[in-house]
A and B are shown apart, each in its own frame.
Chain A
Amino acid sequence: MPRYLRIVLLLTPGLGLVVVMMSMVIYRAVAQSFGLYNFGGEDILSLAHWQEMFDNRRYWSALRWSGYIATTSALLSVALAYPLALWLRRPFFGSTILSAMIKAPYFVPGLVAAFLLINVISFHGFVNEFMIWIGLWDKPVRMQNDENGYAIIGLQVWKQLPLAFLLLLGSIQSIPDSVLHAAQDLGAGTLARFRRVVLPLTMKAMQAALVLIFIGAAGDFSFQAIAGPARKNSMATLMTQLQGSNYSDWNGAAVVGVTLMGLSLVGAVALAGFVQLMTKFTENVR
């Protein structure tokens, strides 16, 4: 049996299933966005649903919002994970507990985390009650469903930071001490060592972290639904609104779904490219 055929056969049970399932979903969503597989009427191949969405302000607002939340969350998570990973790269007394605490949010379901946050920041939540009790505030302050999405970004960072931390920690730990010592010995201070040695050597892990967090945050539903501003939609909440409630607009929802996949792809490529450029730039700036 030819070698390539053997490889294909060996990969088929695992990879094949993934490819088939993914292809089916993508094909179905794309086809539906062009009017096929229409649950609410006749199947007509058309650009009308796309045209309709492009004329819809809510669509563009949701796209911008999801892009903003995903980009900010990815960048913030990675920015906060770096110093933690550098700090915990070598074991010290208590480092295992600290490391476990940083990873813990990864195992808390997003919905639970969002409800916990609401308990803390709601009108009669922990923060408001506490501040009034100690006399710093006269009346409760509105923090829930803020217009800038700080609560969602906070939740995303809290939830996704462990992923960035794990990816970066592994990569940072693989840099030998002697390489960092060599840089220091040659005159590189803390920032220079980070910029000229750590950053380029952990670039792949950083790219992976940014891409995974961006994709996860771009498709967020639960944080937006619970802690997001009332007048704004993410792509995921818009999709369910179009398909559910009174609209039953499966084709419109498919357009949003395909756009979301496109956003994930474009965002991931853009962030990976940004990291690559940044590494080259910092290397050239002496």
Chain B
Amino acid sequence: MGLEIENVGVRFGSFEALRSVNLTVDDGAFVTLLGPSGCGKTTLLNVIAGFLKPTSGTVRMDGMDISDTRPEARDTAMCFQSYALFPHLSVRENVAFGPRQKKVPKNEIVQRVSKLLDQMGLDIHAEKLPNALSGGQQQRVALARALAVAPGIVLFDEPLSNLDAKLRDQVRTEIRALQREVGFTAVYVTHDQAEALAMSDEVFLLNKGVVEQSGAPREIYFRPRTSFVADFIGAANLHVGKIKDGAMATPFGPLGVRGADALNKTVCWRPEVVRLGGDLQGAVTASAFQGGHLDLFVSAGDQTVRLQVPGSHEFDVGDEVSFGLDPENVVVLADEGHVDA
């Protein structure tokens, strides 16, 4: 089921939580709404679910305007951050809640619930109450409960934020695999950029109530449009300055840039695109061995950049290091931005 959000705005008094947001989700796609706390991503999810009525704009599902449709009548199901399982019902009853509400025939409910419990590895916990389950198991029950109504779109509201790191990775993989297997359309809210990059077909990065940039994870990561995107997604080195004759002067030396001459521009590059040896130079101020690679913090003038070099190299604080970059790995950003030294 496809989803279209057209010029959706949400206002709480004088505060604008969403400002003319537009996005399109293809049928069967897994998209992520990513952004820092307070950027409006959960507000947008609530608008899609119907819990919140937009102040302006339209929400369409498969071309049909559902802006005024009540949540219970929408073809969506949500996995909540807090799981929101019904504490008085067993795992089986929780999963069967939706189909019963939608008047699915009894035999089909039994089959559907059993299949989902089996698929999620919850069959042995079917008669337990939610409080007898671990966080990961509760998350799986929430997912099974959402899928039991066979929704057109499954909405995920930071579903992994209450799990520990190892479990988060495991459940993340499970959700993505299940989405591919079942083929439902997924809208996933997270503030974790690694989660967004790993899971999504498309990422919508929100900032202060607007979509700052959208695209495939690789595009967002390697071709950020603004300094906010570059800074929020992964580690980024930013420089502000004048571009002249394909280079920008930095305290490290001239940085090759593929862009037209401009007076005040921000450019960005990722720490891992660097190679040792080149025209740029600085002094190591800190290093951190990460196993596969070495994180180096290199300073020149009042600026510090982060480099990622193979873990086989060794540097001490104070060592001089020279490095270089291919100009195609340096992105000229649309905004003037700022540099956090």
Contact = CB atoms under 8 A, between A and B. Distances in A.
Q: Do A and B come from one complex?
A: yes
A187 B72 contact: yes
Contacts of A196: 97
A201 B82 contact: no
Given A189-B72, A197-B86, A182 B80 contact: yes
Interface string B188-215: 0000000000000000000000000000
Contact of A178 (B73, B77, B80, B101): B80
B338 interface: no
B87 A186 contact: no
B84 A184 contact: no
Interface string A186-220: 11110010001100110000000000000000000
A182 B148 CA distance: 13
Interface residues of B, number: 25
Contacts of A201: 87-88
A185 interface: yes
A46 to B, nearest CB: 51
A186 B84 contact: no
B101 A182 contact: no
B78 A182 contact: yes
A183 interface: yes
B98 interface: yes
| Interface bracket on A | 10 to 19
Contacts of B100: 286
B34 interface: no
A139 interface: no
B98 A186 contact: yes
Contacts of B80: 178, 181-182
Contacts of A286: 100-101, 103
Nearest to B76: A185
Contacts of A197: 86
A187 B103 CA distance: 10
Interface in B101-123: 101-103
B49 interface: yes
Contacts of B71: 181, 184-185
A188 B84 contact: no
Nearest to B103: A286
A179 B86 contact: yes
A200 B101 contact: no
B82 A186 contact: no
Given A181-B51, A181-B71, A187 B84 contact: no
Contacts of A189: 70, 72
Nearest to B149: A186
Contacts of A2: none
A197 B98 CA distance: 13
Contacts of A178: 80-82, 84
Contact of B97 (A176, A181, A186): A186
Contacts of B239: none
B145 interface: yes
Given A176-B82, A178-B80, A192-B101, A185 B87 contact: no
Given A181-B71, A192-B101, A196-B97, A187 B78 contact: no
A181 B101 contact: no
A217 B85 CA distance: 38
Given A188-B72, A286-B100, A183 B82 contact: no
Nearest to A190: B72
A188 B101 contact: yes
B84 A176 contact: yes
The 7 closest A-B pairs by CB, nearest first: A186-B98, A187-B101, A178-B84, A182-B84, A178-B80, A200-B88, A286-B100
Interface of A: 176, 178-179, 181-189, 192, 196-197, 200-201, 286
12 contacts: A179-B85, A182-B80, A183-B97, A185-B49, A185-B76, A186-B102, A186-B145, A188-B97, A189-B70, A189-B72, A201-B87, A286-B103
